[in-house]
A and B are shown apart, each in its own frame.
Chain A
């Protein structure tokens, strides 16, 4: 009897021990994850904070995370800065009405005719939190950002249209038809996915320059109309998972070749198409190399190229640069949050990292 009670007690203790260890290890895991998450978000937080600061507060060490500004008070049509001044052991908030070398002339906000002269080293500015949203306006207007955005959208959606049309047709051809030599063509297609872009870069550039397409958006759009190997491969794999019986049923109902594609395959392949479109958007939006070699005049720049030239020529204004960078990454972040599921599935399916 006593032995049974004992055994039960031991078992209960063990269980307790187990849950205690469980709770402990879970806490450790959460602490590690939180530290990692902080490290991940740190640069972004700094970016947001810097974009809202006055220039003078950016290069401070230790960094000032919340931007501030000295409080100013208007008295009789004139604006004076507010200071904390140590006077006879008591701290008073006074306005600085004048300054003669190291000596500040201070006065009480209620009556500025009565002045006190104090060494400025004894006065400390009164600061209040203020976000400089106007940094964004300035960043968007000192460079033709609007122009960049229009160019970028033109490139993205032009090339996306070309990519989608050609990819759908080619993937359809490779997934639903038999023809002599088609398998060999598909093998060639697969092997080109491993090809480094550099081996075709230079003749392509020369071709575009002979066509007079340098400094136009055409080199960034036209090649997309010829179906990229990787996109075709992905969509073909997706088409292959749609049962052939669907096609047959449609055929019996009188659908032609194009009818099957538009009425059966495309509606069913919506998730795959969405993945292709989103990854194309991200790729085209962030593409830097092609705009760099093909575009020359500022009015033709894409956002990525515009940001780099901003960085190269306006390095004296990190506040504006951070505002511009933040505006630049915003579409990607928004897209990520609205289409998170497609993103995560897309990476898993394609193996392509952001």
Chain B
């Protein structure tokens, strides 16, 4: 190998640069093959009609116009996705945070509790969807059995268009342990001196939660909300396995609708347009949440500036 003598004649800075480019090249090449290229291609495809087999037909903006004006399922899928986000994200936040707060009270056996609450988040994917199909069974499911113990006659859950989406939101609480771990770690990093100071100032438990704990862990809450919002737009497996979008499109999530167009009807152009609309929506919400964060997220470094 003559590479070494050749490169060793180069000045050190150039040699360093060369090494850098060689080392990062897997990602750079990947970026062009799997990100930049496909993004441009899907943008182009979104103005066409293409089913992989027949030749491509240029449509101009017809896909977008169709989506916004004549496609009721597009609006339905947006409604489903947002409704689900509005139901599941705050509920998950409250449950995850509540468990974390309880566990932060120096309870005995912390690691055991933490493991139990986190365990359901470990098992993800199809198996969970399959399991919950049966848990939510209106006639024999254990959820309705548990409700019947306290005298409540449970609804039809997934079979009932009015309840199907709520069922999935309730099911999502089973995975609240993931958020719980994050919140717990954040809570444990809040300096105890702050609580002591608040106590001396006469703050009760609620005040300490409201004015010390929540501001101190707000960056984590914020992060989790951003990821949760984006995650809702990727929601797929449960809807696909459990409901296929039904009954009467009550659980037609955006990502499921996109999948149906791309891989069930092979409308690749239309699905690409849906993907780009999704991209814009996610971009919008990410920016919105980031912009609004200064109002309610407290970062420690800001303390001085605010005063």
Do A46 and B23 contact each other (CB < 8 Å), given the known contacts A33-B113, A204-B34? Answer: no
Inter-subunit contact A288/B17 (CB<8 Å): no
The reply on B207 being an interface residue by CB < 8 A is no
Identify whether the interface residues of B are mostly helix, strand, loop, or mixed. Answer: helix
Inter-subunit contact A180/B175 (CB<8 Å): no
CB distance from B31 to the nearest CB of A (A): 7
Inter-subunit contact B272/A173 (CB<8 Å): no
CB distance from B43 to the nearest CB of A (A): 8
From A203, A335, A336, name the one whose CB has the most chain B CB atoms within 10 angstroms.
A203
Question: In the complex, what distance in Å separates the CA atom of A32 from the CA atom of B177?
Answer: 15
Minimum CB distance partner of B41 in chain A: A203
From B45, B123, B126, name the one whose CB has the most chain A CB atoms within 10 angstroms.
B126
Question: In the complex, what distance in Å separates the CA atom of A257 from the CA atom of B15?
Answer: 11
The reply on A205 being an interface residue by CB < 8 A is yes
Question: In the complex, what distance in Å separates the CA atom of A176 from the CA atom of B21?
Answer: 12
Interface residues of A in 251-268 (CB under 8 A from B): 257
Interface residues of B in 214-249 (CB under 8 A from A): 223-224, 227, 230, 233-234, 236-237, 240-241
Do A348 and B30 contact each other (CB < 8 Å), given the known contacts A46-B135, A182-B20? Answer: no
Size bin of chain B's contact surface:
35 or more
Inter-subunit contact B122/A325 (CB<8 Å): no
Identify whether the interface residues of A are mostly helix, strand, loop, or mixed. Answer: helix
Inter-subunit contact A308/B103 (CB<8 Å): no
Question: In the complex, what distance in Å separates the CA atom of A342 from the CA atom of B209?
Answer: 29
Minimum CB distance partner of B32 in chain A: A226
Do A36 and B117 contact each other (CB < 8 Å), given the known contacts A47-B131, A198-B275, A329-B123? Answer: yes
Which one, A37-45, A110-118, A241-249, is touching chain B?
A37-45
Number of chain A residues whose Cβ lies closer than 8 Å to a Cβ of chain B? 91
Please indicate the chain B residues that have their CB under 8 angstroms from the CB of A204 in the complex: 34, 38
From A62, A179, A257, A322, name the one whose CB has the most chain B CB atoms within 10 angstroms.
A179
The reply on B64 being an interface residue by CB < 8 A is no
Do A336 and B122 contact each other (CB < 8 Å), given the known contacts A170-B23, A182-B20? Answer: yes
From A29, A329, A333, name the one whose CB has the most chain B CB atoms within 10 angstroms.
A329
The reply on A106 being an interface residue by CB < 8 A is no
Q: Which of A60, A63, A179 contacts B20 (CB 8 A)?
A: A179
Please indicate the chain B residues that have their CB under 8 angstroms from the CB of A32 in the complex: 102
The reply on A293 being an interface residue by CB < 8 A is yes
Contact with B along A340-354 (1 / 0, CB 8 A): 100110011001011
The reply on B42 being an interface residue by CB < 8 A is yes
Inter-subunit contact B236/A166 (CB<8 Å): no
Which one, B81-89, B138-146, B194-202, B294-302, is touching chain A?
B138-146
The reply on B213 being an interface residue by CB < 8 A is no
Inter-subunit contact B179/A166 (CB<8 Å): no
Minimum CB distance partner of B136 in chain A: A43
The reply on B279 being an interface residue by CB < 8 A is yes
Q: Which of B45, B133, B139, B181 contacts A61 (CB 8 A)?
A: B139
Please indicate the chain A residues that have their CB under 8 angstroms from the CB of B125 in the complex: 285-288, 304
Inter-subunit contact B140/A199 (CB<8 Å): no
Inter-subunit contact B122/A177 (CB<8 Å): no
The reply on A197 being an interface residue by CB < 8 A is yes
Inter-subunit contact A189/B117 (CB<8 Å): no
The reply on A144 being an interface residue by CB < 8 A is no
Interface residues of B in 1-52 (CB under 8 A from A): 13, 16-24, 26-31, 33-35, 37-39, 41-42, 45, 52
CB distance from A296 to the nearest CB of B (A): 11
Question: In the complex, what distance in Å separates the CA atom of A32 from the CA atom of B103?
Answer: 11
Minimum CB distance partner of A321 in chain B: B130
Inter-subunit contact B34/A282 (CB<8 Å): no
Question: In the complex, what distance in Å separates the CA atom of A37 from the CA atom of B255?
Answer: 32
Inter-subunit contact B140/A223 (CB<8 Å): no
Q: Which of A203, A289, A322, A325 contacts B45 (CB 8 A)?
A: A203
The reply on A178 being an interface residue by CB < 8 A is yes
Question: In the complex, what distance in Å separates the CA atom of A37 from the CA atom of B120?
Answer: 11
Inter-subunit contact B127/A328 (CB<8 Å): yes
Inter-subunit contact B262/A201 (CB<8 Å): yes
Please indicate the chain A residues that have their CB under 8 angstroms from the CB of B230 in the complex: 194, 196
Please indicate the chain B residues that have their CB under 8 angstroms from the CB of A307 in the complex: 126-127, 130
Inter-subunit contact B27/A226 (CB<8 Å): yes
Inter-subunit contact A182/B24 (CB<8 Å): yes
The reply on B158 being an interface residue by CB < 8 A is no
Inter-subunit contact B52/A206 (CB<8 Å): yes
Question: In the complex, what distance in Å separates the CA atom of A200 from the CA atom of B107?
Answer: 47
CB distance from A60 to the nearest CB of B (A): 7
Minimum CB distance partner of B205 in chain A: A25
Inter-subunit contact A289/B236 (CB<8 Å): yes
The reply on B276 being an interface residue by CB < 8 A is yes
Please indicate the chain B residues that have their CB under 8 angstroms from the CB of A289 in the complex: 236-237, 259
Do A62 and B145 contact each other (CB < 8 Å), given the known contacts A196-B233, A336-B122? Answer: yes
Inter-subunit contact B177/A200 (CB<8 Å): no
Do A332 and B122 contact each other (CB < 8 Å), given the known contacts A180-B17, A199-B275, A325-B127? Answer: yes
Do A205 and B120 contact each other (CB < 8 Å), given the known contacts A226-B27, A325-B127, A353-B178? Answer: no
The reply on A159 being an interface residue by CB < 8 A is no
Interface residues of B in 260-279 (CB under 8 A from A): 262-263, 268, 271-272, 274-276, 278-279
Inter-subunit contact B127/A347 (CB<8 Å): no
The reply on A172 being an interface residue by CB < 8 A is yes
CB<8 Å pairs between A and B, sample of 26: A30-B107, A32-B102, A37-B113, A40-B174, A43-B131, A46-B134, A50-B134, A63-B140, A63-B145, A166-B27, A177-B23, A179-B16, A196-B282, A198-B279, A201-B262, A203-B38, A257-B19, A288-B236, A288-B240, A289-B237, A311-B130, A329-B127, A344-B181, A348-B182, A353-B182, A354-B121
- 7 closest A-B pairs by beta carbon, nearest first, are A226-B30, A353-B178, A173-B23, A286-B125, A200-B38, A177-B20, A203-B41
User: Besides the contacts A43-B132, A344-B118, what 12 more A-B pairs have beta carbons closer than 8 Å?
Assistant: A40-B119, A166-B26, A166-B30, A177-B20, A177-B23, A196-B279, A288-B237, A311-B129, A325-B131, A329-B123, A347-B182, A353-B178
